[in-house]
């Protein structure tokens, strides 16, 4: 009996157009593909609607490839704090991020005996991480010289080992360059890929407001936990001391998120029987800032124009009430993290 060997590859898959197309291109060459989709603490993944990553499973089911999920966790937080190749315009460590993802993919490649790695990167599409020399650095730093195939721009890049070995036909790869997606959209129609997300501007770490909040958090809380990081995406944020901050919900949805991220020791404030935000007071020495936080809560409630407002304050099952004057905007502007 003759057993034919089917070449196989590990793909980095965000669920977006480029990464999905790159997989389909290789599937059409008879390559067996296992896709790796990453999760992080920062919502830069399929768990977050503001993310550059989208649900990869519908395409996997339709086109016939496997998907594995990998949470980068503390490893990703470490490069956000101190990236070897620096941050982009905000807190995005794009080069270090790609290296970390490729290292994870290499581990899986080695474990399952795959032949090479696929990514959806397009030369010149992103200014920090998708230049020709940077793409080479990323592959080298990940220990994958010659083993990272970028099907959408491969004919503009040096030939890779799978192409040299004849595993992949270079003539059936592409020479896309720049930010336009017209060429990708054309071959998507050819392949029957009709549902894919609109191009995204990048992960939350590219967002200026989110990045300022993250910088503030890491300055005063060098080892943040899941709740600290996820609160960055919610509400209005105020730094009231080196050790304490206040987060104010802006609507019913955010109030629900804030309530779900409450930790033991946090104070939770609201104005009862009227439209009111939920407000978290968190940090060491929070007891000394209850009055100020109550006034902030009153300011964002529907009773903000009343001279005195009763605020309900709960902590670890205990409830007290405090009557305060709503805070003035000029004071809030000095404390706001934005």
Residue pLDDT, tens place only, 172-211: 999 999 888 899 999 999 999 988 877 666 688 989 999 9
pLDDT of amino acid 191: 94
Per the structure, the count of domains in the chain is 2
Residue 234 shares a structural domain with residue 113:
no
From 125, 159, 191, the end of a domain falls on 191
CB 20 within 8 A of CB 27: no
Residue 175 shares a structural domain with residue 49:
yes
Residue 162 shares a structural domain with residue 22:
yes
Residue 237 shares a structural domain with residue 311:
yes
Residue 257 shares a structural domain with residue 315:
yes
The arithmetic mean of pLDDT across residues 87-105, rounded, is 95
pLDDT of amino acid 200: 62
Residue 32 shares a structural domain with residue 177:
yes
- What φ, ψ does residue 35 adopt, rounded to 5°? -95, 145
Residue 168 shares a structural domain with residue 214:
no
Report the C-alpha gap between 326 and 100 in whole angstroms. Answer: 47
Write the CA distances from 88 to 49, 198, 216, 296, integer angstroms. Answer: 22, 22, 17, 34
Write the CA distances from 225 to 218, 263, 301, integer angstroms. Answer: 11, 10, 29
Percent helix, strand, coil in the chain, to 5, is 40, 15, 45
Residue 37 shares a structural domain with residue 117:
yes
Residue 230 shares a structural domain with residue 292:
yes
Kindly state whether residue 172 falls inside one of the protein's structural domains: yes
CB 332 within 8 A of CB 299: yes
What range does the domain containing 75 cover?
Answer: 8-191
pLDDT of amino acid 4: 62
Residue 219 shares a structural domain with residue 273:
yes
Kindly state whether residue 51 falls inside one of the protein's structural domains: yes
Residue 52 scores a pLDDT above 80: no
What's the pTM?
A: 0.88
CATH for 146: 3.40.50.620
Report the C-alpha gap between 145 and 137 in whole angstroms. Answer: 9
């Amino acid at each position: 009996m003759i057993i034919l060997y089917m070449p196989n590859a590990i793909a980095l898959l965000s669920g977006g157009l480029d990464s999905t197309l790159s997989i389909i291109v290789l599937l059409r060459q008879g390559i067996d593909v296992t896709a790796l989709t990453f999760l992080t603490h920062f919502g830069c993944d399929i768990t977050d609607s503001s993310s550059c990553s989208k649900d990869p499973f519908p395409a996997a089911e339709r086109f016939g490839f496997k998907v594995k999920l990998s949470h980068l966790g503390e490893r990703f937080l470490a490069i956000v704090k101190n990236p070897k190749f620096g941050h982009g315009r905000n807190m995005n460590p794009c080069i270090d991020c790609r290296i970390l993802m490729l290292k994870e993919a290499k581990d899986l490649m080695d474990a399952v005996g795959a032949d090479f790695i696929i990514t959806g990167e397009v030369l010149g599409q992103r200014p920090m991480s998708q230049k020709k020399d940077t793409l080479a650095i990323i592959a080298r730093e990940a220990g994958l010289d010659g083993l990272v195939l970028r099907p959408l721009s491969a004919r503009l890049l040096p030939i890779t080992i799978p192409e040299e070995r004849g595993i992949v036909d270079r003539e059936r790869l592409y020479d896309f360059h720049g930010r336009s997606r017209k060429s990708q959209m054309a071959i998507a129609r050819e392949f029957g890929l009709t549902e894919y997300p609109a191009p995204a501007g990048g992960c939350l770490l590219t967002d200026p407001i989110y990045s300022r909040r993250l910088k503030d958090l890491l300055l005063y809380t060098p080892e943040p936990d899941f709740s600290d990081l996820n609160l960055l995406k919610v509400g209005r944020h105020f730094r009231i001391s080196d050790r304490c901050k206040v987060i104010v919900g802006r609507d019913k949805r955010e109030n629900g998120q804030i309530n779900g991220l409450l930790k033991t020791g946090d104070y939770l404030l609201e104005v009862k029987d009227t439209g009111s935000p939920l407000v978290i007071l968190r940090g060491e020495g929070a007891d000394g800032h209850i009055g100020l936080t109550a006034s902030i809560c009153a300011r964002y409630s529907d009773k903000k124009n009343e001279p005195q407002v009763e605020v309900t304050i709960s902590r670890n099952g205990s409830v007290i009430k405090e009557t305060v004057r709503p805070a003035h905007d000029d004071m809030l502007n000095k404390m706001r993290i934005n």
